């Protein structure tokens, strides 16, 4: 047997809290609301989803009478990047369907959607589930980024679910995966294929949330891990008083992680991509803003500090966004010639020679290392992989140059750069995520039992104790609108970016000047799994501020 840590062993017996609806299991009463519409473009969404559009929201309630259920066979898929709590969603599904009928079974498709397409799956036994309760990671069955969107995928899904006797598929993923879950639900329902599809909201990025979903799971834990590390660095900075730490934080697009970590740790500088885009800031304006704070602290004798930078930043700076889009086109157009060049400097020169005007100017203003990174790494769709661009190094270098040219800067500027991302994605889930995920899993089991399809499992009121949480289902079409993606109109769940008029950003912007000039660091320390509720049962600052302002 693999050796497990003392914490994992002690944590295995933690019993996640659930909404009151599930205190006697997942055989619950279903309360239906009124028919729903869509987040936008309702007519188009209705046309695209004639079989699953318009269903009512539902809420589960503990049943007053004893009920009996029939066996359910559920298939589970983990889709996309790891997020703390995924194993607890599966444990919740398992315990949920077993509470409905002991003969129920749960199958895990391996390595994400590919497992469904290739019919690679395992039955998840009680032993497997027990070994993974309250653990981080997706290693129980693995995950993958294949998008289930083509008809051949849907045909394979039908074949492999039917071959394994699976009547409900639960897809645990982000906005894209849940959109595709809905497309699959529509495909089955409109063809009278008896397989239901349920979604669960996952992503550390925190950008799958709306009026129906309070938060995506994993965000809470990942932000606590990063905030612990940032707090430790702040304390080091304040002890040694000789470094500026530039820290890039994961989050493919939205800056929720960066904002949450800022709220938890009160660093000197935090860049929020959505604000950069709204103010149409240029790269040199960002550099100027950072250099200004560094110079002001230096004037007060403080040649140290901490700056948080969101992973997706460069795509939100309008001029860099334009540059990236021209580079994507250029590199696709000139792929053959570009591939033949082996020397890195020659690659950069090749690109320089083909960029003119504003794009050429912006490209030339970037440090050499970043120029090369922008030319190299592309995902399978030909887009820049922002997690590989070292924005923190780029800004450290550009800010250093700017400070040298400033007459009023008499201080010292030494930097350390960091990127926190993968460190947090598989952490043991906080109590919040352990409870939330297990409850989402139970909700998915109840939705399966209620024969619902095209629904997302939702658990709400989570800033309150679990005894006040509610559980239910929301038609995925209700969260959709139509957006232009890769030149086509597509139905999508709207990605939640940081709202500049939202309570978390407002609180941050009211305090950031003070945090910049003073040293008002907060050191959150590690996630606590055992001990008093005030240190173990926390909710994210973002959620707290958002919900309290509603
Ligand atoms: P999901 O949206 O799939 O949850 O993934 C989020 C994320 O962690 C981003 O923050 C990051 O940019 C990306 O995954 C990294 O992906 P990969 O694991 O493929 O390097």
pLDDT at 247: 98
**Residue 252: CB within 6 Å of ligand 1?**
yes
**Residue 85: CB within 6 Å of ligand 1?**
no
Q: What is the pLDDT along the chain (550 residues), one digit of tens a residue?
A: 578 999 999 999 999 999 999 999 999 999 999 999 999 999 999 999 999 999 999 999 999 888 889 999 999 999 999 999 999 999 999 999 999 999 999 999 999 999 999 999 999 999 999 999 999 999 999 999 999 989 999 999 999 999 999 999 999 999 999 999 999 999 999 999 999 999 999 999 999 999 999 999 999 999 999 999 999 999 999 999 999 999 999 998 999 999 999 999 999 999 999 999 999 999 999 999 999 999 999 999 999 999 999 999 999 999 999 998 888 888 888 888 888 988 988 999 999 999 888 999 999 999 888 898 888 867 766 677 777 889 999 999 999 999 999 998 999 999 999 999 999 999 999 999 999 999 999 999 999 999 999 999 999 999 999 999 999 999 999 999 999 877 788 999 989 999 999 999 999 999 999 999 999 999 999 999 999 999 999 999 999 999 988 7
Question: Which atom of ligand 1 sits closest to the CA of residue 202?
Answer: 4
Residue nearest to atom 12 of ligand 1 (CA): 252
**Residue 83: CB within 6 Å of ligand 1?**
yes
**Residue 475: CB within 6 Å of ligand 1?**
no
Structure-token pair, residue 234: 């702040």
Distance 288 CA to ligand 1 centre (A): 30
Distance 427 CA to ligand 1 centre (A): 15
d(C-alpha 516, C-alpha 307), whole Å: 9
d(C-alpha 333, C-alpha 330), whole Å: 5
**Residue 250: CB within 6 Å of ligand 1?**
yes
Question: Which atom of ligand 1 sits closest to the CA of residue 312?
Answer: 12
Question: Which atom of ligand 1 sits closest to the CA of residue 204?
Answer: 4
pLDDT at 389: 86
Residue nearest to atom 1 of ligand 1 (CA): 81
Q: List residues with catalytic annotation.
A: 205
**Residue 205: CB within 6 Å of ligand 1?**
yes
Distance 445 CA to ligand 1 centre (A): 27
Distance 510 CA to ligand 1 centre (A): 30
Residue nearest to atom 5 of ligand 1 (CA): 81
Distance 394 CA to ligand 1 centre (A): 21
**Residue 359: CB within 6 Å of ligand 1?**
no
Of 81, 86, 206, 257, the one to substitute when testing ligand 1's pocket (max ligand atoms within 8 A of C-beta) is 81
The reply to whether 222-424+502-549 shares the fold of 24-218+429-493 is yes
Distance 432 CA to ligand 1 centre (A): 21
Domain 24-218+429-493 has CATH 3.40.50.450: yes
* Alpha-carbon distance values, 397 to 182, 234, 335, 394, 415 (Å): 45, 21, 30, 5, 9
Count of alpha carbons within 13 angstroms of residue 326, beta-carbon side:
18
Question: Which atom of ligand 1 sits closest to the CA of residue 252?
Answer: 12
**Residue 172: CB within 6 Å of ligand 1?**
no
pLDDT at 422: 96
pLDDT at 381: 66
Residue length of the chain: 550
Residues 6+ apart with CB under 8 A from 133: 12, 14, 87, 88, 91
**Residue 274: CB within 6 Å of ligand 1?**
no
d(C-alpha 127, C-alpha 116), whole Å: 23
Residue nearest to atom 7 of ligand 1 (CA): 81
Structure-token pair, residue 283: 């790269």
pLDDT at 317: 94
| DSSP summary character for residue 220 | H
d(C-alpha 72, C-alpha 105), whole Å: 6
DSSP H or E stretch at residue 360: helix 357-365
Residues 6+ apart with CB under 8 A from 179: 476, 480, 491, 492, 493
Distance 253 CA to ligand 1 centre (A): 10
CATH number at 222-424+502-549: 3.40.50.460
Question: Which atom of ligand 1 sits closest to the CA of residue 83?
Answer: 4
Residue nearest to atom 4 of ligand 1 (CA): 203
The C-alpha torsion from 273 through 279 and 284 to 289, rounded to 10°, is -80
d(C-alpha 550, C-alpha 326), whole Å: 42
Distance 322 CA to ligand 1 centre (A): 23
Distance 490 CA to ligand 1 centre (A): 22
Residue nearest to atom 11 of ligand 1 (CA): 252
Domain spans in the chain, listed from the N-terminal domain onward: 24-218+429-493, 222-424+502-549
**Residue 471: CB within 6 Å of ligand 1?**
no
Residue closest to 541 by CA, chosen among 270, 172, 174? 270
Percentage helix, strand, coil for the chain under 3-state DSSP, each rounded to 5: 45, 15, 35
d(C-alpha 149, C-alpha 138), whole Å: 22
Residues 6+ apart with CB under 8 A from 192: none
**Residue 251: CB within 6 Å of ligand 1?**
yes
CB 504 within 8 A of CB 541: yes
Structure-token pair, residue 319: 């001029």
């Amino acid at each position: 047997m693999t050796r497990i840590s003392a914490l994992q062993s002690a944590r295995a017996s933690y019993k996640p809290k659930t909404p009151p609806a599930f205190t006697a299991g997942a055989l619950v009463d279903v309360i239906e609301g009124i028919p729903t519409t869509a987040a936008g473009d309702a007519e188009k969404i209705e046309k695209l989803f004639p079989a699953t559009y318009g269903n009512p929201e539902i809420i589960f309630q503990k049943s007053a009478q004893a009920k009996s259920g029939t066996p359910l066979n559920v298939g589970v898929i983990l889709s996309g990047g790891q997020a703390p709590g995924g194993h607890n969603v599966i444990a919740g599904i398992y315990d949920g369907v077993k509470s409905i009928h002991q003969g129920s079974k749960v199958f895990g498709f391996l390595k994400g959607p590919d497992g469904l397409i290739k019919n690679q799956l395992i039955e998840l036994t009680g032993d497997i589930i027990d070994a993974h309760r309250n653990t981080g990671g997706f290693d129980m069955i693995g995950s993958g980024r294949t998008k289930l969107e083509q008809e051949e995928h849907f045909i394979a899904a039908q074949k492999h679910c039917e071959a394994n006797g699976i009547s409900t598929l639960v897809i645990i993923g982000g906005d894209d995966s849940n959109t595709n879950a809905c497309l699959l639900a529509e495909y089955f329902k409109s063809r009278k294929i008896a397989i239901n599809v349920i979604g669960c909201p996952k992503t550390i990025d925190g950008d799958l949330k709306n009026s129906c979903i309070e938060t995506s799971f994993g965000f809470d834990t990942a932000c606590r891990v990063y905030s612990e590390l940032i707090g430790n660095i702040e304390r080091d900075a304040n002890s040694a008083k000789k470094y500026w730490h530039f820290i890039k934080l994961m989050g493919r697009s939205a800056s929720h992680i960066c904002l949450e970590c800022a709220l938890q740790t009160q660093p000197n500088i935090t860049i929020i991509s959505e604000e950069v885009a709204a103010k149409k800031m240029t790269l040199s304006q960002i550099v100027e803003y950072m250099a200004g704070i560094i110079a002001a602290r230096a004037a007060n004798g403080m040649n140290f500090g901490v700056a948080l930078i969101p992973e997706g930043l460069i795509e939100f700076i309008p001029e860099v966004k334009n540059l990236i889009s021209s580079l994507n086109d250029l590199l696709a157009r000139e792929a053959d010639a570009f591939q033949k060049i082996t020397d890195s400097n020659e690659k950069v020169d090749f690109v320089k020679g083909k960029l003119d005007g504003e794009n050429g100017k912006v490209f030339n203003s970037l440090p050499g290392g970043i120029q090369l990174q922008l030319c190299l790494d592309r995902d399978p769709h030909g887009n820049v992989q922002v997690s590989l661009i070292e924005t923190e190094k780029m800004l450290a270098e550009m800010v250093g140059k700017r400070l040298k040219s400033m007459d009023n800067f008499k201080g010292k500027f030494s930097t350390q750069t960091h990127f926190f991302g993968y460190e947090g994605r598989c952490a043991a889930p906080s109590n919040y995520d352990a409870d939330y995920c297990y409850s989402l899993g139970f909700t998915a089991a109840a939705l399966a039992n209620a024969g619902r399809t095209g629904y997302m499992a939702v658990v709400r009121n989570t800033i309150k104790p679990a005894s006040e949480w509610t559980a239910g289902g929301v038609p995925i079409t209700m969260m959709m609108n139509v957006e232009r993606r890769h030149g086509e109109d597509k139905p999508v769940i709207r990605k939640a970016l940081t709202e500049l008029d939202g309570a978390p950003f407002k609180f941050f912007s009211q305090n950031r000047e003070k945090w910049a000039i003073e040293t008002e660091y907060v050191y959150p320390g590690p996630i606590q799994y055992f001990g008093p509720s005030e240190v173990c049962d926390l909710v994210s600052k973002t959620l707290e501020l958002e919900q309290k302002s509603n």
